[in-house]
Amino acid sequence: MSFKSNNKVVQWVEDRLPVISVMHHAIYDYPMPKNLNYLWNFGSLAGFALVTMIATGIFLAMQYTPHVDMAFNSVERIMRDVNSGWLIRYIHMNMASFFFIAVYIHMFRGLYYGSYKAPRELLWQLGVVIFLLMMATAFMGYVLPWGQMSFWGATVITNLFSAFPIVGESIVSWLWGGFSVDNPTLNRFFALHYLLPFIIVAVVALHLVALHTVGSNNPLGIDSKGPQDSLVMQPYYTIKDLFGIGVFLLAFSVFLFWAPNYMGHPDNYIPANPLSTPAHIVPEWYFLPFYAILRAIPDKLGGVLAMFGAIAVLFVLPWLDRSSIRSCKFRPVARIFFWIFVINGLALGYLGGQPAEGIFVIASRIATAYYFFHFLVMLPVILPMIERPRELPSSIHEAVTKS
Amino acid sequence: MADGANPESSAQESGETRREFLYLTAGAMTVVGAAGALWPMIDSMNPSADVLALSSTEVDLTPIEAGQSVTITWRGKPVFIRRRSVAEIETAESTPLEDLPDPQTDGDRVEKPEWLILVGVCTHLGCVPLGQKTGEKRGDYGGWFCPCHGSHYDTSGRIRKGPAPTNLEVPPYVFLTDNSIKIG
């Protein structure tokens, strides 16, 4: 790195700690493929959401009391008495959902354009780790207000671990610190909910190091061959990312100011009652597809394994998809099945929110079977047999200037 | 290498194995030490002494009429006490074992047939089944019904239909007198 500065202080720091050159490279002269579309905004949007969550979370933690007798009221106090408390909490609540929206689009972008393929396998896997950590963090955060959904969501999810033979019961009682979800559980969830976001930041840093090592994928899925295929980060993509954040915040503000509880559940404004289960327990919307998979299997351990398997399969995806073509632009059959997979995913999300009876159970089973069929049969076995990919352009520059 | 043919190389070889052995034993001790240091932290998350101390509850059964149910709290969990009617006892006792996903006779689940005492937590994912209050859905077998994922329990608290793997748990309890019990 041949970074030189005219500023003596900057150069003095740089000679002892090369942090400025690293930042400079990441924000200024980092070369990006010049054909990125708006789907490439969602990584920076997810990063923005993470920073917002940590910033608002720190101030919420200053007002919150992690005790079963006081937690619910301390959250109500934040909403009513703390200066701007309602705003900070509503930002935290709604940005959690928007964080998942950004990350889900980011993941589907990766699926469509084959961003998980060599040499980006570790980049993709680090992303799956971030996704898992996000789910754990979001789940524990939802428990903190100690409403009915907090309590029963915590009960149902921690009970998943009781499905494991022999050690299951001990694991659950270890997770709870007692014989049911109670004060020790709330305390440790608060501690972990504060800790995990910083671990996410660390994994995001690794994600970015891996990204800067192998470079961004692009809509054509072919490698950059030189400067004629690239644009530098500043000002082209910094401005594009900032513009994206502006649009993202517009959509976010609609929910924040006009429907702040739309994505929540009214039962969570009832204080937790360990003796009465709400008639219909549903997790937050971003867990619904996995919840549908859990309920689709008529066996307790089987359901739990299927749910964890639905994420584990993403981890090995780079080796399941055997096509050497990355982008679905040049994969006429894979593209169709990608959209079927998206619709199937949305269907699972819908089914996860419905009661587990009648037609919904059957539909959940079909959708669950298709989810695994896509990864375990369609990608590795059927597509290589039936698909003839289109011809790839010889370079990004050629493809961009021709059209 | 042939035995003793090249003393220098064999010395080197044995040096390497000795070093490897030292690495291995030192590495193993480090792992044991780290695990030992980690254990108190992991164990601190297990139920503490004060939580364990709250582990028994006494209940007076006198005010409960036949056919009536009450719910009390034991270790933070609901415990169902149902004074069963003669018809309920009969159905529970006459159910053939082959109809049960988790076979257990009614006699194994009660001290006195009149009093059915259960932990009121669904063995699927821990919801509290309905059926304690009059007018609540009791499921297809007249016992309890879990609204979360649709498990049906019979008048002995045994699983009959739905995703729950086992019968409702019977807590340890003793009759102190004819009309009072101690749970835990």
**Which tens digit of pLDDT belongs to each residue from A201-246?**
999 999 999 999 999 999 999 999 888 999 999 899 999 999 999 9
Which positions in chain A touch B42 (Cβ < 8 Å)?
A: 174
Torsion of CA A121, A123, A125, A128, to 10 degrees: -140
- On whether the CB atoms of residues A146 and A271 are closer than 8 A, the answer is yes
Nearest CA in chain A to B49: A178
Question: Residue A10 and residue B14: Cα distance in Å, rounded?
Answer: 54
Do A175 and B73 count as a contact with CB atoms less than 8 A apart?
no
pLDDT 10s digits, A92-104: 999 999 999 999 9
Is the pLDDT confidence value at A167 over 80? yes
User: What pLDDT is attached to residue B10?
Assistant: 52
- From the list B51, B77, B149, which residue is nearest A295 (CB)? B149
User: For the CA atoms of chain A, what is the radius of gyration?
Assistant: 23
User: What pLDDT is attached to residue A219?
Assistant: 96
Is the pLDDT confidence value at B158 over 70? yes
- Closest alpha carbon to B60 in B160, B179, B184: B179
Provide the pLDDT confidence category of residue A276 given band limits of 50, 70 and 90: confident
Question: Residue A151 and residue A135: Cα distance in Å, rounded?
Answer: 17
Do A155 and B126 count as a contact with CB atoms less than 8 A apart?
yes
Structure tokens at A220: 């054509």
Torsion of CA A72, A78, A81, A82, to 10 degrees: 150
Residues 6 or more apart whose CB falls under 8 angstroms from that of B93 comprise B105, B106, B107, B113
Which positions in chain B touch A162 (Cβ < 8 Å)?
A: 126
Of A216, A230, A323, A327, the catalytic one is A216
Indicate if A241 belongs to the active site: yes
Residue A147 CB neighbours (<10 A): 25
**How close, in Å, is residue A145 to chain B by CA atoms?**
19
User: What pLDDT is attached to residue A85?
Assistant: 96
Residues 6 or more apart whose CB falls under 8 angstroms from that of B112 comprise B175
Which positions in chain A touch B73 (Cβ < 8 Å)?
A: 274-275
Indicate if A193 belongs to the active site: no
Is the pLDDT confidence value at B151 over 90? no
Cα-based distances in Å from A396 to A220, A221, A229, A324, A327: 7, 9, 5, 17, 13
Do A177 and B75 count as a contact with CB atoms less than 8 A apart?
no
Residue B131 CB neighbours (<10 A): 23
**How close, in Å, is residue A275 to chain B by CA atoms?**
6
**How close, in Å, is residue A303 to chain B by CA atoms?**
10
Which positions in chain B touch A176 (Cβ < 8 Å)?
A: 47
Mean pLDDT of all residues in A5-13: 89
Structure tokens at A316: 């090995």
User: What pLDDT is attached to residue A131?
Assistant: 97
Query: String of b and e for A47-66 (b: at least 16 CB within 10 Å)?
Result: bbbbebbeebbebbeeebbb
Which positions in chain A touch B127 (Cβ < 8 Å)?
A: 152, 155-156, 277, 281
Do A159 and B45 count as a contact with CB atoms less than 8 A apart?
no
- Closest alpha carbon to A286 in A93, A124, A79, A70: A93
Provide the pLDDT confidence category of residue A183 given band limits of 50, 70 and 90: very high
Mean pLDDT of all residues in B138-166: 86
Q: Which of B121, B125, B137 to probe the A interface (max A CBs under 10 A)?
A: B125
User: What pLDDT is attached to residue A25?
Assistant: 86
Of A117, A240, A374, A397, the catalytic one is A240
Give the residue numbers in B contacting A (CB under 8 Å), as ranges.
Answer: 42, 45-48, 51, 55, 71, 73, 75-78, 121, 124-128, 146-150, 163-165
- From the list A162, A188, A300, which residue is nearest B163 (CB)? A300
Question: Residue A270 and residue A90: Cα distance in Å, rounded?
Answer: 18
Which positions in chain B touch A295 (Cβ < 8 Å)?
A: 149, 163
Annotated catalytic sites of B, by residue?
149
Is the pLDDT confidence value at A402 over 80? no
CB contacts < 8 A, A to B, total 82
**How close, in Å, is residue A342 to chain B by CA atoms?**
26
- On whether the CB atoms of residues A75 and A186 are closer than 8 A, the answer is no
Mean pLDDT of all residues in A46-71: 97
- On whether the CB atoms of residues A307 and A294 are closer than 8 A, the answer is yes
Q: Which of B44, B149, B161 to probe the A interface (max A CBs under 10 A)?
A: B149
Residue type, A88: I
**How close, in Å, is residue B156 to chain A by CA atoms?**
20
Structure tokens at B162: 């739905």
Question: Residue A161 and residue A141: Cα distance in Å, rounded?
Answer: 19
Structure tokens at A261: 């509880």
User: What pLDDT is attached to residue A1?
Assistant: 46
Question: Residue A284 and residue A295: Cα distance in Å, rounded?
Answer: 15
Checking DSSP bridges between strand A31-33 and strand B77-83, what pairing results, if any? Answer: unpaired
**How close, in Å, is residue B79 to chain A by CA atoms?**
9
pLDDT 10s digits, B6-48: 555 555 556 678 889 999 999 999 999 999 999 999 999 999 9
- From the list B42, B47, B163, which residue is nearest A178 (CB)? B47
Nearest CA in chain A to B41: A174
**How close, in Å, is residue A355 to chain B by CA atoms?**
8
Mean pLDDT of all residues in A8-29: 89
Which positions in chain B touch A300 (Cβ < 8 Å)?
A: 124-125, 163-165
Of A14, A229, A267, A284, the catalytic one is A284
Q: What is the DSSP letter of A365?
A: H
Torsion of CA B112, B116, B119, B120, to 10 degrees: -170
User: What pLDDT is attached to residue A333?
Assistant: 95
Q: Count how many Cα atoms sit within 13 Å of the Cα of residue B92 in the half-sphere of its side chain.
A: 26
Do A180 and B164 count as a contact with CB atoms less than 8 A apart?
no
Helices A359-373 and A300-315, interaxial angle, to 10°?
A: 30
Poorest-pLDDT segment among A32-36, A94-98, A238-242, B89-93: B89-93
ipTM: 0.79
Structure tokens at A353: 């929110």
Nearest CA in chain A to B77: A180
Of A14, A241, A267, A321, the catalytic one is A241
Provide the pLDDT confidence category of residue B126 given band limits of 50, 70 and 90: confident
User: What pLDDT is attached to residue B164?
Assistant: 86
Question: Residue A387 and residue A324: Cα distance in Å, rounded?
Answer: 12
Q: What stretch of H or E contains A335?
A: helix A332-352
Indicate if A397 belongs to the active site: no
